[in-house]
Amino acid sequence: MEQIPLIIQTFLSYKETIQGRSPLTVKEYYLDLRTFFRFLLVSRGEVLISKNDADAFSALSIQSIDRDFVASITSDEIYAYLLWLSRDKKNGTTARARKLSALRAFFKYHTTKSRQLENDPTRDIDSPTVKQALPKYLSLDESKELLESVDPDSDTAKRDYCILTFFLNCGMRLSELVGIDLSHISSDMRKMVVTGKGNKQRTIYLNRACQNALQAYLPIREHLGRTHSSVIKDKNALFLSTRGNRISGKTVQWLVKKQLKLAGLEGKGYSTHKLRHTAATLMYNNGDVDIRVLKDILGHEQLTTTQIYTHVSDRKLEEAMQANPLADELPI
């Protein structure tokens, strides 16, 4: 990895060590900041290339960025950057809002924590308005079709079925699922601990479907892990690859995509993360789960994040209208 300027290094270290952001999130912060500083180097004429020369731009080093350079950044330059992202890079509102958020966090750290800077040029810049899209999710019938698509004769059938069951019932994130250890599961299989965003742990209670899938998988787990090797490398990992390693996120994404295709659900925009949406929606629509309880199940920081699931059920809306005490009044 290229050498990172000290003023960016300290910010990234703060995000990871103090705020507990994941390495992947920290990397995203860096990539967004690198794009911004490359833009400035070209815009200010310190590097004589075109901003739209993709190859030259992606090879541009930002090692020269220091405190004085950062302190000289103006709001106008940030507006110019956002305009370039929109017009030239064709970034949508969500991408632009995320990149502006990275800049906000960077300048906030250096004005309020490290105090290397006096002024924050992002302070008065409004974020692009992001339209909140309704989450895409599988229907109850489609969820059953997905589970039934697992070939019982496959060497990985018990594992794959358990993975799909956990996604559809627990609403966990991909990173949470692959990070599950055997030690995270209670001896009676009633609950387990997962580690979510910001390394925050929460307890998930396992329903009968999850318990049954887990009980079916565990006896063949060791055999699965020995398919291509004599030793299981990740002895505490719940879900193993056929090589005895902890299963990777990419492998899980691949198997979900495969099962969606086998279930005839390919091309509908479904994905691993959509299974998390499915679990949340099924619980809310069919289980009369309080939105605050759903927030804790999903591991959301803010209730507003969870409230999107209150807008996905036409049946709930219809029931609410029928619950009005005036609903049975007859016309004159």
Question: Is 276 an annotated catalytic residue?
Answer: yes
The residue among 11, 205, 30 whose CA lies nearest residue 117 is 11
Question: How many beta carbons lie within 10 A of that of residue 91, not counting itself?
Answer: 18
Choice among 27, 98, 273, 316 that is catalytic = 273
Q: How far apart are CA 306 and CA 288, in angstroms?
A: 14
Choice among 67, 202, 300, 316 that is catalytic = 300
Residue 132 CB contacts under 8 Å (≥ 6 apart), including other chains: 308
Choice among 81, 270, 284, 309 that is catalytic = 309
Choice among 98, 104, 184, 197 that is catalytic = 197
Question: Is 197 an annotated catalytic residue?
Answer: yes
Question: Is 190 an annotated catalytic residue?
Answer: no
Choice among 34, 173, 221, 274 that is catalytic = 173
Choice among 276, 277, 284, 295 that is catalytic = 276
CA distances 271 to 228, 252, 266, 330, Å, are: 28, 10, 9, 47
Place of tokens 């629509």: 285
Helix (H) or strand (E) holding 194: strand 191-195
Question: Is 300 an annotated catalytic residue?
Answer: yes
The residue among 255, 183, 188, 177 whose CA lies nearest residue 215 is 188
Side chain identity at residue 127, one-letter code: S
- Provide the annotated active-site residues: 173, 197, 273, 276, 300, 309
